Chain A
């Protein structure tokens, strides 16, 4: 396929003397879903936070469209076209769905001193975008705190999708969802991908990843264990890689292969 939109080269990230990432390379092409897999604490969240401008890499370089870039803040990364749905969702429970939806990117109307937050427009878009994702809001000024965990996830995804990024990063979007909402999210990922957006899908659920992924990269203790394309790798092999090769194999005997 075509050239990658985003390329992360040999990224390292240290927190004091904790080495969270130790030379990770990764790239996303337009219209593909690249899954980043790894166990708890593997460094997935840290990696995508360097991708989206929250952290600066201690070492390594980020390229967008072939050019080296540096993100000083999430705002910079967003301006460059990287949208991120964090594991912690970046939502404020006391604020309304619409205010959360447009947080930091409020639509305005009017000029100069009368340039104001177009709340009606914001409410309207929020309602329609949420409906597209299969969620009927009572009203757009319902507080996010009143939504279920899955509904919140959907708001966060709908928001990222709506702001039409070139790269959409989803940090474990399905881990808190029920069956129906999971399949909704996976279907959305598919739609987003068809529009030519590069999706980075973080998960430790191999089934979810295999359902939509085009390529799979496994992270373990801050390092990549390699990248495989769809069809080149089986669920079991991925599972083993994620666990670092051995431990799971031993466990599997006693659990009768239920994981």
Chain B
């Protein structure tokens, strides 16, 4: 018998197949779920659901949720929650509306002011969580109420008693920045495509889909940037590390506090971005904006593979989680199914996703 140890081959290691590797990706569940939901609607829904205009219809709510969900996913991977993002949408709407309508500021000032102000509130959230060591769940739950209340009080003060602030459209008329935050992008391209007969048109010759709503562009860009940052930058490694084990991370030189504060600022800024696009599109702001969105965003993030305990998940998963959400919200209107099934569906998806993620995590860590 030879005790010689060949250091290049180890007989206990089996080559891992590509499929086995894919099976370990955190976004697997969301991608599979999106396919299943799409197949479900192909059988049950009216065929027009999967035309260009149907898809744009689906992507709009998906994008509005996704802008929040992707940020929420990064924060969850970093080991924290933010329950205040829904209320933050209303609050940011108030700040933005106030800047634009009451102070008559151009967008080039109003947008940065809104973003910075909200990021500041996010930083306060983060500071309180880190200083007190309390769970972010509780701290941001407090801010859920505080910000919603401030939005109501503030709007009444700004309008003299109404919880709606109107007149945004008139105030931003002709502003060069407006097209980046409202309306449809690539209109010229869609008109051209219509004239070439590639896409459906009305009888007048105008395309049925005038362009891609800008929030969809923001959604896709955000998903791309977030995925890149997570997987391909040191900051991404710090986010995983901070959420995986904050003591181990900081002992290894990861600036955990900075990472977490930055993530809280990010979720708040994304809520503000969403508020800006919504307010510009609607022409008014309302204290009820973003109601319950924090939960939907967290659900989308969980469907996208984020673990509630942090340290694991993906931004592209949250992207698909949001698309599932959009497909169901809109898809039900293309069927004869009562739309109130939506909530049942959302809850079931959440439960399934959590069970599924748990199993995946055990696989990844080798069931230890």
Chain B positions near chain A (C-beta within 8 angstroms) = 7-10, 13-14, 16, 228, 231-234, 236-238, 240-241, 244-245, 247-255, 307, 311-312, 361, 364-366, 368
Contacts and interface: CB of A to CB of B under 8 A. Distances in A.
Contact of B253 (A74, A88, A136): A74
B364 A92 contact: no
A75 to B, nearest CB: 4
Contact of B366 (A89, A116, A145): A145
Interface in A104-146: 104-106, 108, 115-117, 119, 131, 134, 136, 138-139, 143, 145-146
Contacts of A106: 233-234, 237
B251 A84 contact: yes
A7 B297 CA distance: 52
B60 to A, nearest CB: 30
Contact of A104 (B7, B14, B228, B238): B238
17 contacts: A86-B251, A89-B248, A91-B248, A92-B249, A92-B311, A93-B244, A94-B361, A95-B241, A99-B237, A103-B241, A104-B241, A104-B252, A105-B252, A106-B237, A116-B232, A117-B236, A134-B7
B254 A104 contact: yes
Interface in A43-99: 52, 54, 73-75, 78, 84, 86, 88-95, 99
Given A136-B10, A145-B364, A75 B237 contact: no
A102 interface: yes
Nearest to A131: B7
Contacts of B365: 93-94, 143, 145-146
A74 B236 contact: no
Most A C-beta atoms less than 10 A away, residue of B8, B251, B366: B251
A74 B250 contact: yes
Contact of B244 (A73, A95, A119): A95
Contact of A92 (B236, B244, B253): B244
B253 A104 contact: yes
Interface size class of A (residues with CB under 8 A): 35 or more
Contacts of B231: 117, 119
A103 B250 CA distance: 10
Contacts of B312: 94
Nearest to A145: B365
A131 B7 CA distance: 8
A115 B232 CA distance: 9
A99 B249 contact: no
Most A C-beta atoms less than 10 A away, residue of B13, B240, B253, B307: B253
A214 B14 CA distance: 42
Contacts of A134: 7
Nearest to A144: B365
A91 B311 CA distance: 12
Contacts of A73: 250, 253
Interface in A139-157: 139, 143, 145-146
B252 A119 contact: no
